[in-house]
Structure 1
Amino acid sequence: MRRRLISSTLAVVLVVIGVFGLSLVIVESRTIRSSAQDGVDSEAVRLTGIVENRILAGESVDARGLDRQIADDRYAVVRVPGHPQVHLGKRPSGRVIASTQHGDHGESVTVEESRSTVSQEVGRTLLVILAVALLAVLAAVALAVLQARRLADPLTDLAETAERLGSGDPRPRHRRYGVPELDRIADVLDASAERIGRMLTAERRLAADASHQLRTPLTALSMRLEEIVATAQDEDAVKEEATIALGQVERLTDVVQRLLTNSRDPRSGSAVDFDLDEVIRQQVEEWRPAYQGERRSMVLSGARGLRAVGTPGAVAQVLATLIENSLMHGAGTVTLHTRVTGNQAVVEVTDDGPGVPPDLGPRVFERTVSGRNSTGLGLAVARDLAEADGGRLELLQQRPPVFALFLAQEIAPQPPRENVIA
C-alpha cells in the first residue's frame, strides 16, 4: 500500500510538472525572444536619433564618436547619404536578430544581435525551470513518503490490534492517529477489546468460582459416600446416608445452575421466602462428620423459626463456605448464632481460632486475598452470592472471627434456642 501511495502521488506530481513546465518553457522562450527583438529595436532607434542629431549639428558621423553607443554583444551599420558606411562592434556569425531604422535625412541604422545569445538565455531559463521541477519532485516524494507512512503505519497498527484481539489479548491500546476514519476504526476496536475483556473476565471468574464452589459439596458428598461404605451392613443407615447423598447431588446441581446464572447476570437472583432453620440444619448435618473427625463441636444458638428471603441454595453455599473456613483455619467450637435486626435475619458464624490478621481485615472479601495459602476465592464468591439476592456478608469482628450473613426477613421469629451438636 505504501508503494502504491508513493507511486500514485509521484505520478500526479510528474504530470502536473510536465504540463505546467512545458507551458512555462514555451512562454519563457517566446518572452526571451520578444525581449531580445525589442532590445535590438530600441538600440536601432537610439542610434538613429544620435546620428540625426549629429547631422543637424554639422558634426561628422564616424566610428570614433559612435563606438561607445553600441552594446558589446551587438553589431550596427550606420548609412548616411554621401558618407561611407560606419560599422560599430563585431559582426556576429550565424543567424541574427536584426532591426533597421530610418531617419528624416535619409540616414539608416541597422542593429544586429546573434541568436546564440538568445539561445543561451533560453537555456539558462530552461535549467532554472528543470531545477525547480526537480526540487518539486523531491518535495513531492518526501511528502508522499510521509503521507504514506501516516496512512500505512496506522493501518498496520490496527491490523496488529485486531490480531491481538484474535489471539486472546483484549487490552485496548487507546491509540489515535489524527485521521478521522482511522480513529473511528480504533474506537471500534478499543470498544470491542473492552467487551471481549469483560467477557473473558466473566468466563475466567466463572471457571474459578465453579472450581471453588463445587469443591465444598463434592467434599461433603464424598464423606457421605464413605459413611455409606462404612455402614453397608446396616440397611436403614445405608438408606439414610444414600438419601443425604442424593440431597448433596441436588445441591451440587443447584450450585452449578447458580454459577451459570451469575455468569450471565450476577444480579439475576431467584429469591423466595424459605425456612432458614432448615438450611442451617442441613449444613450442620453435612459438616457434622468432618467436625467429629477433628474432635470439634458445632453450636446452634439464637432465634428459631426464622424465615428469610433469598435463594436457599445460595444461602446454603454461603454458610458452607463460612463453616469450611472455620474448619480449615479456625479452632475450638464453631457457633452459628441467629438473630433479628430490624427487618433482617442474621446468621453469625464464629469460632475460637486466631481470627483474621489485622492487615487482611479490610480486604478479606477481595478475590485472591488469603493469609492461609488458600485460593482467596471462597469469601469473595460467598459475598457475591449473598448480594445477588439483596443480602450481604460482613466481617463483624476479626478476633475471634465473627462473620455475619444478613438476609431479608419478613416473618416474626420464635423464642431463642441453643443446641450443641458434637
Structure 2
Amino acid sequence: MEKPSGRREPYGRPLRLRVLGAIVGVATLSVALFAIPLAISMGRLYHDDTTASLDRNATWIAAVVHDDVVRNGVTSVPLPRGVPSTLTVGFFTASGAKLSGAGPGTSRIAAEARDGHVHEGVERGFLVVAAPFPSDKKLAGSVRVAMPYEIVRDRMYRAWLAMAALAVVVIGLAAVFALRQSARLAAPLEHLTRAAQALGSGDFSIRAPRSDVREADAAGLALEATARRLGDVLDRERAFSVDVSHQLRTQLTGMLLGLESALGRPDADLAGVIRTAVDRGERLQTTIEDLVRLTRGGHTGGPEPFDVLALVEEIGADRRAALAEAGRGLTVSVPDELPGVAAAPAAVRQILHVLLDNAAIHGRGEVTVEVSDLGDGVAVVVSDQGPGVPEGTDVFARGARDGHGIGLALARSLAEAEGGRLVLRRASPPVFSLLLPAR
C-alpha cells in the first residue's frame, strides 16, 4: 500500500493549456462558422455563374442559327463565330434526338426544352443548358450547350483550398497569440507559487516579480506583506524565547549557586539556605506561570485594570530581604491612590523583577522604587546608587557588553507590547522609568 505523500499534487490542467485551448478553440469555431457557409455559398456562386454563362451562349446560338436547319433535318450545322472552344454545342430535335454537333445521341435536358423554356442540369458529367429555337410556329428543337463539370468543380476546390489555407493561417496566428497570452497570465501565478513555497520553507524575504497583470501584482504585494509580517512575528517570538530562557536560567543558576555554596560550608545555616531556595523556586514558578500566561494571551492588556500599588508592595516585600542580606536597603514610595493600569499584571511583574534584578546585580547602595500618577498613566521609577551605564551603551540592546542586555531587552519588549514604555532616564546613577497607560 502506498504511503500518502506530504505534498498534494494540484488538480486540473495547467493555466497555460487552458488559455491556449480556449483561445484556439474559439478561433477554430469562429473560422468554421464563417468559412463553411462561405464555402457553400461560393460553390453555389461558381455553379450559378457558369450556368448563366452557358445560358447566354445557348440563347445567343439559338437566336443566330435559323430554326429551318432543325426543321429540315440538316445534319451539319455550322456554329457562329465567337463560340468558346471549351463549350460542347449540339442541335437536338424536340424529342431530344441529336441532329448535329457534339453531345450524346439523346438528351433529356434538350427534350425538356420543348416547353419553350431554357433548362439546365448535370448530364453525363457535363453541366448542360438547353435553349429552344425561337419560333412562332411549332417548336422545331433546341440548342444544347455543355461544359465538363470538372471545370466547375476544380474552380470550387481551388477556392476552398485557398479558404482552408487562410483558415489555417488565422488559427496559427490565434495559437501564437494564445501562447503569448497564456505565458503572460501563467507566469505571474507560477512566480507566486514558487514564492509561496519559499515562504512555506521559511524564507520571509521573498519578492514576487512584477507583471502587467494587476490582480497577480496585487496578490504578490499581499504575499510579500504577509511574509514580512510573519518574519517579524517569528523574530519577535525567537527573541522572546531567548529572553525568557535567559531569565529562567539566571534565577535557576542563582538558586543552584546558593545551594552549592551552602554544601561547601560546614557551618552553613542549611535551614535558611533551604528557605531561600524555596523562595527562589516559588519566584521561578511565578515567573514561568507569568511568561506562559503572556505567551498564550498575546501580550495584551487585560480586560480590567489592576492595582499597581498592591503589585509593587508585593514585589518590594519579596526583594527587601534578599537586598538586606547583601547589606542594601529597598525603599518603596507609593501615593495613596492611583488609577488602574491598562496592562497585564504578569507583564508588569516581570518588568519590575528585571529592573530590581538589574539593580541588585549591577547596582550599589539603596534601591528606590517610586510610583507616581501622571494623569493619563502611571510611572514606576527604579533607581540605585551604582556607577550606572557607560556612555554610549544601549542597555536595551541584546548582547550588551556590560551584561544588562538580555533582561532589559525582554522588559522593554514586554512594556511596548502592553502599550507602555521603558526608558533610561539617567545613566549614572541609573534611573529607569516604566510608563504604563491608565485604563
Larger RCO (CA under 8 A, 6+ residues apart): 1
8 Å CA contact retained: 1:299, 1:333: no
Say if 2:64 is the partner of 1:35: no
* 1:191-210 alpha-carbon deviations (Å, 9 max, x no partner): 98688657645642442232
Structure 1 portions without partners, runs of 5+: 53-60, 80-84, 88-93, 410-422
Paired amino acid for 1:259: L
Does the residue aligned with 1:274 lie in a helix, a strand or coil? Answer: helix
The residue aligned with 1:99 is 129
CA pair 288-301 structure 1, distance change in 2 beyond 3 A: closer
Residues in 2 aligned to 1:356 and 1:72: alpha-carbon distance in whole angstroms = 119
Say if 2:270 is the partner of 1:238: yes
Residue 380 of structure 1, CA deviation: 3.0
8 Å CA contact retained: 2:334, 2:372: no
Paired amino acid for 1:342: D
* 1:218-271 alpha-carbon deviations (Å, 9 max, x no partner): 23213322332244434xx22112111111111111111111111132124594
Which segment drifts farther, 148-157 or 338-347? Answer: 148-157
Residue 38 of structure 1, CA deviation: 1.4
8 Å CA contact retained: 1:220, 1:286: no
Residues in 1 aligned to 2:196 and 2:436: alpha-carbon distance in whole angstroms = 46
Residues in 2 aligned to 1:306 and 1:381: alpha-carbon distance in whole angstroms = 30
8 Å CA contact retained: 1:274, 1:307: no
* 1:285-325 alpha-carbon deviations (Å, 9 max, x no partner): 54678xx7xxxx85645747989878887556434433555
8 Å CA contact retained: 1:349, 1:403: yes
Say which of 283, 287, 301 aligns to 1:251: 283
The residue aligned with 1:404 is 433
Residue 37 of structure 1, CA deviation: 0.8
Say which of 302, 305, 315 aligns to 1:279: 315
Residue 276 of structure 1, CA deviation: 3.2
The residue aligned with 2:422 is 393
Residues in 1 aligned to 2:328 and 2:437: alpha-carbon distance in whole angstroms = 25
8 Å CA contact retained: 1:357, 1:371: no
Say if 2:147 is the partner of 1:113: yes
Residue 283 of structure 1, CA deviation: 3.5
Does the residue aligned with 1:347 lie in a helix, a strand or coil? Answer: strand
CA pair 256-138 structure 1, distance change in 2 beyond 3 A: same
Does the residue aligned with 1:233 lie in a helix, a strand or coil? Answer: coil
Question: After the TM superposition, which residues 150-299 of structure 1 pair with which residues of structure 2 at under 5 Å, given as runs?
Answer: 156-157=190-191, 159-160=193-194, 163-169=197-203, 200-201=234-235, 203-234=237-268, 237-263=269-295, 264-268=297-301, 271-272=306-307, 273-274=309-310, 276=312, 279-280=315-316, 282-283=318-319, 285-286=321-322, 298=328
8 Å CA contact retained: 1:283, 1:319: no
- Number of equivalences: 372
Say if 2:352 is the partner of 1:322: no
Residue 340 of structure 1, CA deviation: 4.7
CA RMSD of aligned residues (A): 5.1
The residue aligned with 2:111 is none
Residue 406 of structure 1, CA deviation: 4.9
Say which of 110, 122, 129 aligns to 2:163: 129
Residue 122 of structure 1, CA deviation: 1.2
Does the residue aligned with 2:370 lie in a helix, a strand or coil? Answer: strand
CA pair 255-166 structure 1, distance change in 2 beyond 3 A: same
TM-score by length of 2: 0.62
* 1:101-139 alpha-carbon deviations (Å, 9 max, x no partner): 334588976544343331221121121122133224424
State the identity as a percent: 27
